[in-house]
Amino acid sequence: MDIKLKIWRQSGPKQAGFFEDHRVEADPHMSFLEMLDVLNEQLLEAGKDAVAFDHDCREGICGACSMVIDGNPHGPRAGTTACQLHMREYHDGDEIVIEPWRAAAFPIVKDLVVDRSAFDRIQHAGGYVSVGTGSAPDANTIPIGKRESDQAFDYAACIGCGACVAACPNASAMLFVSSKVAHLSLLPQGKVERKARVRNMVAAMDAEGFGGCTNHGECEAACPKSISVDAIALLNREYLYAGLARD
């Protein structure tokens, strides 16, 4: 299949970017990133600089890949990362527009590569249970209901890719932050530090320059792990509780 590409090129964070046109011969069984590999191989054999994009596991779990495809973070298929998208979703002759995540808190490094270190810094602010190695009780000491545990898992499944930010008109990181807050606040192990956690993580998110949440719900639609916006409601509840608490 003959595919036309419009790809964002930008040589560095301070340089101006532009769209560049390319054509590539793709196979329907190729993954989307394999199609980009073919393009890059063409560029390199012509002695040109290839398109930089983040990728690693190529099985939808590391969260490295990060590109907006025809206006959708990770492309058209729901619950799917760009690396798991396959060319059978497209038709011969299609034109595809590829851009980086666009958010002030994710500065562009080069082409489609952005700097997502803000996400790590938010986690530093409280995305953990304070338990040192060696001081854990036996794993079956505290029973946890299957329902609570499964629910916590649904939120813990976040891969930290940033699609939620890229999809949000406010470039808010609420779904990312709330999925960690929700995961830990649903488990007894995480309850001990719940108040400090939600306060500190929200403060860190604000300090990084992410926008506020105005309930658009675009984040849930774009999330490759289909994490529900219920997490945001849970975060708001936790935040309110932490605000009303005495300590």
Partner 1 sequence: MKLDAKIPSGPIGDKWDKARFELKLVNPANKRHHKLIIVGSGLAGASAAASLAELGYDVDCFCFQDSPRRAHSIAAQGGINAAKNYQNDGDSVYRLFYDTVKGGDYRSREANVYRLAQVSVNIIDQCVAQGVPFAREYGGVLANRSFGGAQVSRTFYARGQTGQQLLLGAYSALNRQIAQGKVKMHPRTEMLDLVVVDGHARGIITRDLITGEIRPWAADAVLLATGGYGNVFYLSTNAKNCNVTATYRAYKRGAGFANPCFTQIHPTCIPVSGDYQSKLTLMSESLRNDGRVWVPRNKADVNKPPNDIPPDDRYYYLEERYPSFGNLVPRDVASRAAKKVCDDGYGVSKTGEAVYLDFATAIERDGKAAIEDRYGNLFEMYERITGENPYKTPMRIYPAVHYTMGGLWVDYNLMSTIPGLHVLGEANFSDHGANRLGASALMQGLADGYFVIPYTIGNYIATHYHGEVSTKHPAFARAEAEVRERQRKLLEIGSKSGSKRKSVDYFHRKLGKIMWEYCGMARNAAGLEQALAQIPELREQFWDHAFVPGGADELNPWLEKAGRIADFLEFAELMCHDALYRDESCGGHFREEHQTEEGEAVRRDDEFAHGAVWEYTGVGTKPALHKEPLEFENVKLTTRSYK
Q: According to CB under 8 A, which residues from 210 to 239 bind partner 1?
A: none
> For residue 125, how many other CB atoms are within 10 A of its CB?
19
Of 14, 93, 139, 247, the residue at the interface with partner 1 (CB under 8 A) is: 139
Of 92, 133, 246, 247, the residue at the interface with partner 1 (CB under 8 A) is: 133
Nearest CA to 7 out of 35, 45, 46, 47 is that of 35
Of 1, 38, 97, 196, the residue at the interface with partner 1 (CB under 8 A) is: 38
Q: Is 60 in the site for partner 1 (CB under 8 A)?
A: yes
Region of 94-102, 113-121, 206-214, 227-235 interacting with partner 1 (CB under 8 A) = 113-121
Side chain identity at residue 237, one-letter code: R
DSSP H helix total and E strand total for the chain: 9, 7
Q: Which is nearer to partner 1, 37 or 220 (CB)?
A: 37
Phi, psi of 220 (to 5 degrees): -65, -40
Helix (H, G, I), strand (E, B) or coil at 117: helix
Q: Is 206 in the site for partner 1 (CB under 8 A)?
A: no
Q: Is 14 in the site for partner 1 (CB under 8 A)?
A: no
Contact 30, 87 (CB under 8 A): yes
Q: Is 41 in the site for partner 1 (CB under 8 A)?
A: yes
Least distance (Å) from partner 1 to the CB of residue 36? 10
Side chain identity at residue 106, one-letter code: F
Of 2, 20, 56, 206, the residue at the interface with partner 1 (CB under 8 A) is: 56
> For residue 129, how many other CB atoms are within 10 A of its CB?
14
Helix (H, G, I), strand (E, B) or coil at 68: strand
Q: CA 50, CA 53: separation in Å to the nearest integer?
A: 10
Helix (H, G, I), strand (E, B) or coil at 106: coil
Residue count, binding to partner 1 (CB under 8 A): 79
Least distance (Å) from partner 1 to the CB of residue 45? 7
Q: Is 189 in the site for partner 1 (CB under 8 A)?
A: yes
Q: Is 125 in the site for partner 1 (CB under 8 A)?
A: yes
Helix H or strand E encompassing 96: strand 95-99
Q: Is 94 in the site for partner 1 (CB under 8 A)?
A: no
Of 29, 93, 215, 247, the residue at the interface with partner 1 (CB under 8 A) is: 29
Contact 3, 24 (CB under 8 A): yes
Region of 2-10, 96-104, 147-155, 163-171 interacting with partner 1 (CB under 8 A) = 147-155
Nearest CA to 187 out of 230, 122, 143 is that of 143
Region of 54-62, 168-176, 205-213, 230-238 interacting with partner 1 (CB under 8 A) = 54-62
